[in-house]
Structure 1
Amino acid sequence: MTQAAHAQSISAANLTQGSVSPSLGPINGTANVEVVVPLDVQQVDGSRSATYILAGGRVYAAGDNSRQQLGLPAGTSFGASRSERPWLDEVPIPLPNEVSIAQLAGGGFASSHVLDTNGRVWSWGYDDNRGVFGTGRTNEYRLPSETPVPPGVTFNQIRSGTYSTLGLTPEGELWGWGSNINGVLQSSATAGNSAPKKLALPEGVEVADFIVGNYYVLILSTEGELWGWGERGSQVLGGNDYTVSGNTVQIPLPEGVSFTQIEPVWGAALGLTNEGKIYAWGTPFNYTNNPILGRGVENVPTPTLLPLPAELQDIVFASLHAGTSATNAGALTANGTLYIWGSNTNGELGIGTSNSTGDEIPRLVPGTFATYSKARNSLAINEHGQAMTWGSNSNGSLGLGNMNTPITSPQTAFNFEVSAISFGEKSSVGELRPHPENPNSFIVSAPPHPVGTVDLTVDTVIPQLDKQGPSFTISERYRYYDPAIPIFSNNETHYEVTNDPGVIADGDSAQIITAQLTDEAYDKVSGMSDSLTASTTRDLGGGSVSDFSETELGVYTAQITSFIAGEAPIIVSYTSPDGKTVNLNVGVDAAGHPLNSTATFQPAPTIPNKPETPEEPVHPNLPDEPNTPSLPQDPGNPGNDWSRVNGPEGAFPHQSAHHEEKLTQTGVNTIPAVLLAGLTIFTGGILLFRRLSHQRMRHPE
């Protein structure tokens, strides 16, 4: 793993994720939106006397506070005048606004160190005369405060040993502070560094991973080489040389073996290969009941393959987990199966029993897990993002509410319960419905909201504390669309969409066609009127399709008029002038998919209060004559509807300029008067003819 890749993985591990499906919905709201809440517990870690949990960018702790390990003043009582707190509650870190905690560094003997999202280090507890806070002072009790570092220095990752802390910068530099016992900080002074100091790395070596043991440091290079300095007595630096030196040495690996990850345990170290195999070496602490190297009470002076029984040899492990003070180690497979081996005095293996000899064979822990960590207790995060704890429970450090009672199987110590989900500033509609198969998934109804993209915020409560927890922001955003403006996306620079712009009355109104252009981030794109065209393959009978104009930011309109009833496909095209990829929005169905249909041109609706045809007058000298026959039907004007020719003012407010101009040019506005006059003459002629005929019949010549 390269240095850059390692830094990226550290950041990714602490990002709030989550998802929403579908991620697109109409502006009037919709039901059955599934929101998957992020894994709420991000990291678990511990020290010899406390447990720490990182959740929602905040740190929660349980256990002993006699030396301010919980970040509270020494002497704080948690009931019955005890300094132990057997439940997890927030560590009061005075972070600046918009800053949260990104990583736990593991706890020292009586101190804790964390990294914030700005790359700054915060610490608290007691330094035990070792200068672990990098302030230049010793014998210091410290409430959560920022660790002083030189200007411009920030870290991607930090790791703490018993009395020392190291940090890796974005530039690949390694800095250290705290105790220099056994040359951990490459100094001849036992007291160590009173302030963070840049450490020397072998020439050409780039750091991919590093660990801080009790009294040693190991570095994994980007080339898969293993380097280290500090105490040789535990044989972690390889071989049988028991001298103490701050000089860096390369640790020989077996032929063809390289590591992707390394982890410390108490007095020993572990490595994971590309093939998912585990190597172990060193001299584990109290090895008579700590067979963590897989070889009983043997010391292992060089990295050696962890022996496994036949039924486990085909397992490919994806990650390795332990800790500076650990007497156990765990390994996870890609599907979340957890195996633990080592001591089991207080049920650390999580298999429901305890014993004094431990187990050198990895044992399967019931459940599915995202990560594991080991200090005095066993700590894990399950597949639902809940913090699970088990083990000795000294000082109530498991956070389960009881004191000093060993727990031999994983128990839920900390989790968040979702209390509300908001779309932007609006809460979801109705109650939250938990998904039957995933407790981190909820079915909600999106509230009505204007067109746009909004964040989804999840509010939580902490049931163990009966108080409000932090709020999470889902990394995937939700987008509201107007169903009248469909959505179409393509990676080409020219696209055509055939969509339904609505119903157009035959010759009586112009239908507005609306298109919207957005970029890949769904921000509206302006100034593209000339790149959009609308057309149809149908004869419009003298009607037309206008050019597009930008009516508001990123929204473009054109209009189409037809003088012939029927159906017509409307084609909207976009051609990018500079190869820019955009989203062309012209219309969507309920599922958010593009429509592919036609526009229907219909005869105009009946207009109320239209002029009536005048009734034929009856001549008083012609008694009982039948009514005058109706006028013949005009094929171009069914029903002789005068409003079809020139309706009342305002009857067609969307009449196109083209239509209006055409009517004016042909003199159509004079037609009603001419027709009325002609009709009067025509009717009078008929009456005169009939009168003359009648007179001839009565008075023949």
Structure 2
Amino acid sequence: MPTTLLTALLFITTLVSASANGLTDAPTHSTQVAVGSYHVLTIKNGALYGWGDNTQGQLGLGAVSMEYAPVRIGTDNKWKMVAAANFHSLAIKENGTLWAWGWGNSHEMGLGQATSKTLVPLQVGKDTNWMSVSTAPDNSVALKKDGSLWVWGNNVNAALGVGKTANSSVYTPTRVGKDNDWVKATASQHMILAIKKDGSLWIWGRRGGSSIFGVPAAPDVVTSPQMLGADKDWNHIYVHNRHGFASVVAVKNNGTCWGWGSNKSGKLGPGHKEDIATPAALPLPTPVASMAIDNNHSIVVKGDGSLWHAGSFLKNIAVKSNEINQSVSFIPLRIDGKWAAVYKGMNFTLLLDQQGQFWTFGTNDKGQLGNGYKNSSYTPTKVAFP
């Protein structure tokens, strides 16, 4: 039986969620979006589009290039879900099949030992009951419709939770344990985090080089799913990891927000810049509709559609408080509009407004802004969607 681990590091770049009644009911939006380091994927009306970096085939276009505006990927209009990391992408179709493309030297695409790169989407195995998928720079995790959990990718020190393997990688999807009550799972570098139907939060993998998450004597490697604390009211979690230093914001069913980990520049908004060793209540602008955490700052979309930020923000993005661009508490951003969601890539931000339009700002050296130009922009510009 899995045991309880009271303190652990979380290495995640996306969202984990479960509703109060145990169903997978994360904050969702009508447009499916996945943001990698320098590329973006989105599904509209079942069709798959992408833009940005394609030097390793992560856009799945059959060739390598930079795409400065959205382009359609293939002709299929049955895509359901997408996930993206540094140089690869994963997706699920409406028929429950799983697909992968791009490059992954830790076999995080799950295509087998012989295939670490493909410029077009290839099916992962033959199963037709995949429900959700998440991927990170070196591993991936997916759930099937029966509630089982599967992993593949980097398995150094048995970090994937499937025991030691002859090689340092797990080449194809491999089941973790026998439980069938998983409802959401997220991959992160060297770490997996998942939520069960009862709202409990579970982790496993390598804890990395940081000891800011509590007890330094906690195991360096957790080789099977371990429950984090005793609470069973977790709703969703936002996490950012950079070189083993993770920042976590966890939201409970009652809307309270808890944060811990790296608090560089005050990006978690606690009112100070010191790292937070154990979960502490955060005065976030609630209700939180969406959140993205970066190296030095965080952005929150409130339920009323307004934008807020904490930490040291990008140059030339002003905020509605004495024209400063650094704060250890969340303050409004001077970006007009009604917003639905926010996403972070490497040095760029993507906003989804309540009309379903994309807006981006930040660096644009690989076309990641998707506005049809090559220049960076420090004010939001509309994505040139076809």
TM bucket normalised to smaller: 0.7 to 0.9
Report how far residue 399 of structure 1 moved: 0.7
In structure 2, the partner of 1:43 is 32
Over 3 Å counting, the alpha-carbon distance change for 1:364 and 1:352 in structure 2 is: closer
Structure whose residues are more often strand by fraction: 2
Is the Cα–Cα contact under 8 Å of residues 272 and 320 in structure 1 kept in the other structure?
Answer: no
Q: Which residue of 2 aligns with 1:431?
A: none
Q: Do the aligned partners of residues 145 and 73 (structure 1) sit closer, same or farther apart at CA in structure 2, a change above 3 Å counting? A: closer
> Out of 173, 186, 190, which is 1:215 matched to?
190
Which one of 353, 367, 372 corresponds to residue 337 of structure 2?
367
SS at match of 1:388: strand
For residue 244 of structure 1, the aligned residue among 199, 221, 236 is 221
**Counterpart residue identity of residue 321, structure 1:** M
Question: Which digits, 9 at most, give the CA deviation of each residue in 1:634-667, with x for residues without a partner?
Answer: xxxxxxxxxxxxxxxxxxxxxxxxxxxxxxxxxx
- Which residue number in structure 2 is paired with residue 57 of structure 1? 46
TM-score by length of 2: 0.79
SS for the counterpart of 2:366 is helix
1:125 aligns with 2:111: no
Post-superposition offset of 1:120: 1.7
Q: What is the alpha-carbon distance in structure 1 between the residues aligned to residue 118 and residue 324 of structure 2? A: 37
Pair 1:200-2:170 in alignment: no
Q: Any unmatched runs of 5+ in structure 1?
A: 15-38, 77-82, 416-461, 463-701
1:237-266: per-residue Cα shift (whole Å, max 9, x none)? 75322612323222226xx78321122212
Output the CA distance in 2 between the equivalents of 1:180 and 1:283. Answer: 25
Number of aligned pairs? 357
Residue 398 (structure 1) aligned with residue 369 (structure 2): yes
> Which residue of structure 2 aligns with residue 177 of structure 1?
152
Question: Could you tell me which amino acid in structure 2 is paired with residue 303 of structure 1?
Answer: P
Is the Cα contact below 8 Å between 1:119 and 1:156 reproduced in 2? yes
Does the Cα contact within 8 Å between 2:90 and 2:100 map onto a contact in 1?
yes
Aligned to 2:355: 384
Instruction: Measure, in 2, the Cα distance between the counterparts of 1:143 and 1:3.
Output: 41
**Structure 1 match to 2:253:** 274
Aligned-pair distance for 1:152? 4.3
**Contact 1:87/1:396 (8 A) holds in 2:** yes
Task: Note if contact 2:273-2:328 (Cα within 8 Å) is conserved in structure 1.
Answer: no
- How is 1:158-169 mapped onto 2 (pairs within 5 angstroms)? 158-169=133-144
- Using a 3 Å threshold, how does the CA distance of structure 1 residues 152 and 210 change in structure 2: closer, same or farther? closer
Q: Distance in 2 between matches of 1:328 and 1:227?
A: 26
User: Structure 1 residues 152 and 47 mapped into 2: Cα distance closer, same or farther (>3 Å)?
Assistant: closer
Answer whether contact 2:100 2:124 (CA < 8 A) is retained. no
- Once the 2 structures are TM-superposed, how far is the Cα of residue 198 of structure 1 from its aligned partner? 0.8
Q: By how many angstroms is 1:172 displaced?
A: 0.8
Counterpart residue identity of residue 413, structure 1: V
Contact preservation (8 Å) 1:184, 1:229: yes
CA distance in 1, matches of 2:298, 2:144: 28
CA contact (8 A) 1:103 1:114 kept: yes
Alignment partners' CA distance in 2, 1:350 and 1:88: 28
Where do 1:219-230 residues align within 5 Å? 219-230=194-205
Alpha-carbon deviation of 1:398?
0.4
The answer to whether the 8 Å contact 2:57/2:120 transfers is: no
Q: Does structure 2 retain, via aligned residues, the 8 Å contact 1:235–1:242? A: no
Query: Higher helix proportion, which one?
Result: 1
Is the partner of 1:224 in helix, strand or coil? Answer: coil
What does residue 100 of structure 1 align with?
78
| Aligned with residue 413 of structure 1, among 364, 383, 386 | 383
Q: 2:292 aligns with which of 322, 331, 346?
A: 322
SS in 1 for 2:34: strand
Which residue is equivalent to 2:302? 333
Q: Deviations over 1:601-647 (max 9, x none)?
A: xxxxxxxxxxxxxxxxxxxxxxxxxxxxxxxxxxxxxxxxxxxxxxx
Judged with a 3 Å threshold, the aligned counterparts in structure 2 of structure 1 residues 271 and 73 are, in CA distance, closer, same or farther, namely same
8 Å contact 1:352–1:409 — kept in the other structure? no
User: Does the aligned pair in 2 maintain the 1:3–1:206 contact within 8 Å?
Assistant: no
CA distance in 1, matches of 2:106, 2:378: 35
Larger Rg over CA atoms: 1
Deviation at 1:46, TM superposition (A): 1.2
What are the residue-to-residue correspondences of 1:439-518 with 2, within 5 Å?
A: 462=386
Q: Separation in 2 of the partners of 1:166 and 1:380?
A: 26
TM-score, normalised on structure 1?
0.46
Tell me which amino acid in the other structure corresponds to 1:371. A
Partner letter of residue 292 of structure 2? A
SS at match of 1:332: strand
Distance 1:195 1:68, change over 3 A: same
Query: How much has 1:326 moved relative to structure 2?
Result: 6.7
Q: Which residue of 2 aligns with 1:442?
A: none
Corresponding residue SS for 2:313: coil
1:656-671 matches, within 5 Å, as none
CA distance, structure 1, for counterparts of residue 93 and residue 296 of structure 2: 29
CA-based RMSD of the aligned residues comes to: 3.4
CA distance in 1 between partners of 2:124 and 2:199 (Å): 32
